[in-house]
Amino acid sequence: MDKSPPGTKLTTLVVPEGWNSLQPDQAQQQGPMERARVQLAEEVLPSYLTTRRWYAAKQSRIHRVSLREVLQWRDWLLALVCVELDTAAQQDYFLPLSIQWDGQVEHTATGAQAAALARVRHHAKTGLLCDALADGSFVRAIAAAMVKGGEVRLVDGRLLFSPVGEPADWLPTAGVASVRIPTEGSNSAAILEDRLFLKTYRRLSAGINPEVEIGRFLTEVSPFAHIAPLVGALEYQTSEGDRLSLGVLQRYVPNQGDLWAHTLNLLERLGEESGDRGADWDTDPAQIAYAALIDTLGQRVAELHHALAQPGGGEAFDPEPISDSDLAVLRERIQHEAATTLERLQLHLTDLGPDAQTQARTLLGERDTLAAYVDALVPDRLQAAKMRCHADLHLGQVLVVENDVLVIDFEGEPARPLLERRAKQSPLVDVAGLVRSFHYAGANALVRLSQDNPDQHARLTPIIARWTREMTRRLLASYEGAAAGSPGFPAPAAQARDLIGLFALQKALYEIRYELDNRPHWVRIPVEGVLELVSSQ
């Protein structure tokens, strides 16, 4: 009986004895092991990858897939998959593999079947070749290895398991099957016994992931209470000495969900028919509680920046003065991003809906105004430091923990190169990211609340606009009050607002490019954001 996931027709791989050592067999290039390896790369992976949410090249065609490395670790394979695109670009992915033989207890798990790549057969035995991150036994084993520490020598390179802090009492219990695997995102995650949070990186870049660096710094060097402390890290070191971050293990912190979801819930409340709740800041309990949370958020982000500015992290972390040449490079970079964004918007203009086209044409007509806006906001001199910061902060990267907040996901913007994500910059980019997130949440809620009743759009637009202004005001006031004295906060302080506006523009330009590639029906939101920013000057 075929137990393939419903609605799929999976390729069958004939796997020989010792299937989990799919290294190239130089002595038997046409042997069963090599045939299974070639079939996996040429037939299975191209179709499987494009179904994964974490696959980042959905807009391009795959030219070729190869197995860059196949690392045997215990009963599993840790595959590094190289994808060559028709654009001549290349992307690398981490894909651990597990076989779930028919009759095994975990084989029937929905997660394993949904993550199946292929059917497998070895003589009379049959089963599924799955993403091992849907296999609870693999998740427990990899987490335990990260807690204990050590290294595994491979045919080419080493696996490095690095514990952080004092995590011995958090060791996962091997016999306990309490592994929860949340919805797949740009990475993959698992929660173990509500004590540990395992995140594995899918798309790989040579070098240390910023989340590993910053997590270690904020756990061991400059402890900060409002993050999930790092417990361990997993890296692959090649024989040439290059390192690739494969995953992190953090302490799991019980929470009430992310601030993005809380914000959308509040905005639905603002959209109720029973009056204009947008003005009830002093009487509506939900708005009072939310506004207090935003005050706390501004304070915590400022405290985070103070923590990241502490000495002890060496050259990679110590703050440095922002020089005149840094400002010149910043001006040139944002001007280039603006020009590139408008070019791509022009190229995709006919792909947009009527309303988005109208807004896009308006923005395309403001090229000179946009360039002048950038020039006006970049100062000639700045008394402030560049330093490490979150670099991709938005409401979805903030967890609500009772009446407080927790900042998560320190990877930086995933579309930017790793070196750029690790670079020091003004920490005000984090504040600008939150300002843009308020705008995104408001625009998102406005669409959802008026989609079944267009007449609601006119009523709700001023309510949500007022909410966005109020939340931005509160965030900035709270942040500025707590950031005073931080090396990254400008002197005079008045320059901070200009820089936040500049970085909000840069973020909105990035959002336009992102939405054109991934969600063209959302591109109107960042286009409107750019127009609002430019018109405010």
Q: What is the pLDDT of residues 230-261, one digit of tens each?
A: 999 999 998 888 899 999 999 999 999 999 99
Region 330-535: CATH code: 3.90.1200.10
CA dist list (Å): 187 to 10, 92, 201, 365, 516:
24, 13, 5, 38, 21
| d(C-alpha 181, C-alpha 135), whole Å | 10
- The string of pLDDT tens digits covering residues 323-361 is 999 999 999 999 999 999 999 999 999 989 998 999 999
Average pLDDT over residues 308-325: 96
Burial classification of residue 192, based on how many CB atoms lie within 10 Å of its CB (0-12 exposed, 13-18 middle, 19 or more buried): buried
pTM here is 0.88
Least confident range from 30-39, 53-62, 408-417, 430-439: namely: 30-39
Asked if residues 114 and 126 have their Cβ atoms less than 8 Å apart, the reply is: no
Which H/E stretch holds residue 526? helix 524-535
**pLDDT of 101:** 82
User: Could you state, in order of their start, the residue ranges of all structural domains in the chain?
Assistant: 1-131, 330-535
Quick one: what percent of the chain has pLDDT higher than 90? 59
CA dist list (Å): 457 to 123, 360, 443, 471:
64, 20, 11, 21
DSSP string, 431-495: HHHHHHHHHHHHHHHHHHHHSS-THHHHHHHHHHHHHHHHHHHHHHHHHHHHHTT-TTS-BSTHH
**pLDDT of 169:** 59
**pLDDT of 25:** 47
The neighbouring-strand residues paired with 387 are 425
- Tell me which DSSP letter residue 25 carries: -
| Residue of 337, 418, 430, 433 lying closest to 387 (CA atoms) | 430
The neighbouring-strand residues paired with 151 are 160
* 31, pLDDT greater than 80: no
Higher pLDDT, 156 or 38: 38
* 53, pLDDT greater than 70: yes
Tokens of 267: 């905005």
Three-state secondary structure call for residue 46: helix
- Tell me which DSSP letter residue 156 carries: T
Tokens of 72: 């045997």
How open is the CA angle 95-97-101, to the nearest 5 degrees? 160
- The string of pLDDT tens digits covering residues 403-431 is 999 999 999 987 788 899 999 999 999 99
